[in-house]
Every structure is written in structure tokens, then in C-alpha cells.
């Protein structure tokens, strides 16, 4: 995601090399580094984290960690974990919704099975006064994800999805969803490595695209916008835009990942800004951690330090 004018510093390349060697790092060590980004292995761990966030004035969204499901049983098991999560959130009276990845729900091998699972989740969320956010994955499933979202959103308000500012198609997708009145969207930069043909490359270009899409969403009357970023210039830009356009608090919230830029998070909450924390948990923590470590080479530095300072 870098342009030629934005070369990769040597230390990042070294850290990337370390991350490539991740499979050789003991799991116990990966766990030590990762635990601030993951609420734990069980639903109870996650609910305890959510309670503590709620007590500090933050909402949450639960993500049951899982990789691509390649069998029906795995997809159905994933659905059942989410159904249990929705029931537990209501029982515990928590301010928390759920975020799901459709690849975990059979999207890549059986779209109709995926639709059925999503219908079950959205029906349950509707019944319990809750909400399902469909995370956006790589560009090979953007169309399929938006199609399913459209279908479900026509039938219930209890579902939203995500758009990625790095995708060149995003302004068109947003324009269409605004027109259809279904723009209940989280806006993020996008996490997957995508080719030049489909995605803007380079930090500044992606930032510019982010601000353009955010303006498009607010000016176009989006139902609600999740401003998902830890990037300070974007957060400040978003606050300026919100002031400029007089966007009411019911129409937006900031969103951040658990364990990331907690200082900025606290500043926003102290200033009375609505903020939701994305809380991943589950047995599949290792795959998630490896991805986070690959995504942010700075964290690899912590791994290296831990290797050498381990007692
Ligand atoms: C709530 C939420 C939901 C998301 N959902 C999706 C989704 O559905 N689909 C998708 O493609 N992407 C998703 N993302 C990821 C997003 O696309 C970005 O890859 C990610 O947020 C990093 O971009 P950034 O805007 O925070 O800016 P960056 O410039 O990457 O980060 C700004 C600063 O934040 C810190 N930081 C950022 N990420 C991390 C991290 N992982 N660990 C430690 N520090 C970090 C660093 O200090 C960094 O300098 C989501 C992000 C958030 C916050």
C-alpha cells in the first residue's frame, strides 16, 4: 500500500521478515504480545471486557474469531456462537452489538447457506433489539457481501456493513446505497493487500479517499456512520467535518480496535464523542494475532523485545 514516494523504511522490512518467521515463535509468546488486542478465548472473557468498556462510557462490538469456514458444520457452529453471544449480551444488559465475517459463514462455497445464516443472525438481533455489522473482507467478495447486505437490509434495520476507502469503487457503492436509503455503514481504510487496479495505494491517497467518502456519507444523509480509524489526522478531520456540517451524535460514532491507541480513545470519550470498541475473542485467536502482527510491523518490535527479555 505504498507509493514510490513513500518508501518502506528498513526497520519495517526487518520487522516484516520477523513476522514472516512468526510460525517459529512459540504460541505462548504470541499470546503474551496479542492479549491486549483480544478479549480472551471464551464468551465470558469477552463479556467481562465489554462490561468494563461500558463502565468507561464506550460501546462495543463482539467479533467471534474464526477463519474461512470451508465446511457447513463450521459455518453453522460459527452462527451458533453468535446466537449465544446475542442472547448473553441481552441477558447481561450490555451496550454491545456483533460484527461478523461472511467467509466464516460459508460465503466462499455456498452463498445460499450464507444467506440463511445471516438471516438467522439478523432475525435474532431484530428480536433482541440488537444489530449485526457485516465486516468487509477482500475485494473478491465485495459484490457478494454488498448483495447479501442489500437483501437483508431491505427486510430489517438491524444490519449494517462496511466500506473501505482504499477501494476505487467505494464512492460508487456509497452513492448507490445512499440512493437506496441503506447507508448504515462503517468506514475504514481497508486491511487486505489489494492490487493497484482495484485499490488506491499509498498512505496519503488512502487518507484523502477516506475524507472524501466520509463527506459523501454525511452530506448524502447516511443513516449512521462508524468512523473506524486510529489515524489522528483522520479523527481530527472527521471532528472538523462533523462541526462544519452540524452532524448530530445519533448519526455517527468513532470505532477502534481493542488495545489500539487507547490514549486517543480516552480523549474522544472525555470530549463526549460516541465511541465503540471492536472486541475480538475466541479459540481462533492465533490466526487473528498473526494477521494483526503482519498488518502492523511496529508490533513485531514488541515480539522481538519479548524474545530477548523473556525470563
Ligand atoms: C473498528 C474497526 C473495524 C474494522 N473493520 C474492518 C473491516 O470490516 N474490513 C477491513 O478491511 N478493515 C477493517 N478495519 C481495519 C482498517 O481497515 C485499517 O486497516 C486499520 O484500522 C488501520 O488503519 P487506521 O485507519 O487505523 O490507520 P493507520 O495509519 O494504519 O494507523 C494509525 C495508527 O494507529 C495505530 N494502529 C493502527 N492499527 C493498529 C494495530 N492493529 N495495532 C496497533 N496499532 C495500530 C498505529 O499507531 C498507527 O500509527 C477495521 C478497523 C477498525 C478500527
- 97 and 25 share a domain? no
Angle between helices 43-55 and 72-92 (to 10 degrees): 40
From ligand 1's centre to the CA of 210, what distance in Å?
13
Residues 82 and 219 occupy one common structural domain: yes
Question: Do 22 and 82 share a structural domain?
Answer: no
In a domain, 61, yes or no: yes
Same domain, 16 and 109: no
Beta-carbon contacts of 123 under 8 Å, excluding residues fewer than 6 positions away, are 156
Same domain, residue pair 214 and 160: yes
Pairing verdict, β 59-64 and 184-188: unpaired
Most informative mutation of 228, 291, 297 for ligand 1 (most atoms within 8 A of CB): 228
Question: How many domains are contained in the chain?
Answer: 2
With the most atoms of ligand 1 within 8 angstroms of its CB, the residue from 35, 230, 279 to mutate is 230
Residue 151 among the catalytic residues: no
> Is 135 annotated as catalytic?
yes
| 43 shares a domain with 30 | no
Atom 34 in ligand 1: residue holding the nearest Cα: 230
Please check whether residue 282 is in contact with residue 62, taking contact to mean a CB–CB distance below 8 angstroms.
no
| The 3-state secondary structure of 81-102, one letter per residue | HHHHHHHHHHHHCCCEEEEECH
Residue that the C-alpha cell 510460525 belongs to:
23
Digit-by-digit pLDDT tens for the chain (311 residues) are: 344 344 455 555 555 665 666 666 777 777 777 778 889 999 999 999 999 999 999 999 999 988 677 899 999 999 999 999 999 999 999 999 999 999 999 999 999 999 999 999 999 999 999 999 999 999 999 999 999 999 999 999 999 999 999 999 999 999 999 999 999 999 999 988 899 999 999 999 999 999 999 999 999 999 999 999 999 999 999 999 999 999 999 999 999 999 888 999 999 999 999 999 999 999 887 777 776 666 665 665 555 555 444 33
Question: Can you tell me whether residue 4 is helix, strand or coil?
Answer: coil
Taking the centre of ligand 1 as the mean of its atom positions, its distance from the CA of residue 230, in whole angstroms, is 6
Name the residue at shortest CA distance from atom 44 of ligand 1.
Answer: 260
User: The whole model's pTM is what?
Assistant: 0.90
**Domain match, 21 and 133 both:** no
CATH code: domain of residue 107: 3.20.20.220
Find the catalytic residue in 115, 135, 207, 265.
Answer: 135
- Compute CA distances 251 → 62, 86, 183, 289, whole Å: 21, 23, 11, 32
Task: Answer yes or no: is the C-beta of 139 below 6 A from any ligand 1 atom.
Answer: no
On whether both 226 and 130 belong to a single domain, the answer is yes
- Looking at the structure, tell me whether residues 127 and 18 fall in a common domain: no
Q: Are residues 157 and 255 in the same domain?
A: yes
- Range(s) of the domain holding residue 16: 10-38+294-305
pLDDT of residue 268: 98
Same domain, 270 and 176: yes
206 CB near ligand 1 (under 6 Å): no
Q: Is residue 288 part of a domain?
A: no
CA-proximal residue: ligand 1, atom 17 (nearest): 190
Domain annotation covers residue 1: no
Amino acid at each position: 500500500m505504498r507509493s514510490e514516494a513513500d518508501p518502506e523504511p528498513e526497520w519495517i522490512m526487518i520487522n516484516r521478515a520477523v513476522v514472516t518467521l512468526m510460525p517459529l515463535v512459540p504460541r505462548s509468546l504470541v499470546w503474551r504480545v496479542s492479549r491486549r488486542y483480544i478479549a480472551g478465548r471464551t464468551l465470558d472473557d469477552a463479556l467481562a471486557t465489554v462490561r468494563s468498556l461500558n463502565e468507561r462510557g464506550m460501546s462495543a462490538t463482539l467479533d467471534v474469531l474464526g477463519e474461512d469456514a470451508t465446511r457447513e458444520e463450521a459455518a453453522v457452529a460459527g452462527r451458533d456462537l453468535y446466537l449465544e453471544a446475542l442472547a448473553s449480551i441481552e441477558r447481561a444488559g450490555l451496550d454491545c452489538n456483533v460484527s461478523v465475517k461472511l467467509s466464516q459463514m460459508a460465503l466462499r462455497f455456498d452463498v445460499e447457506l450464507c444467506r440463511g445464516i445471516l438471516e438467522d443472525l439478523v432475525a435474532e438481533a431484530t428480536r433482541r433489539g440488537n444489530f449485526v455489522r457485516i465486516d468487509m473482507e477482500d475485494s473478491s467478495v465485495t459484490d457478494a457481501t454488498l448483495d447479501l447486505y442489500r437483501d437483508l437490509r431491505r427486510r430489517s434495520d438491524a444490519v449494517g456493513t462496511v466500506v473501505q476507502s482504499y477501494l476505487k469503487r467505494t464512492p460508487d457503492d456509497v452513492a448507490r446505497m445512499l440512493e437506496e436509503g441503506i447507508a448504515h455503514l462503517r468506514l475504514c481504510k481497508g486491511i487486505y493487500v489489494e492490487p493497484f487496479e482495484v485499490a488506491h495505494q499509498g498512505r496519503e491517497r488512502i487518507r484523502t479517499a477516506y475524507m472524501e467518502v466520509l463527506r459523501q456519507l454525511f452530506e448524502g444523509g447516511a443513516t449512521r456512520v462508524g468512523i473506524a480509524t486510529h489515524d489522528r489526522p483522520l479523527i481530527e478531520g472527521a471532528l472538523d467535518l462533523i462541526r462544519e456540517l452540524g452532524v448530530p451524535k445519533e448519526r455517527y460514532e468513532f470505532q477502534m480496535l481493542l488495545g489500539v491507541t487507547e490514549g486517543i480513545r480516552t480523549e474522544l470519550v472525555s470530549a463526549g464523542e460516541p465511541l465503540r470498541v471492536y472486541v475480538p475473542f475466541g479459540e481462533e485467536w492465533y490466526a487473528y494475532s498473526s494477521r494483526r502482527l503482519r498488518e502492523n510491523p511496529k508490533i513485531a518490535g514488541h515480539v522481538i523485545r519479548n524474545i530477548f527479555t523473556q525470563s
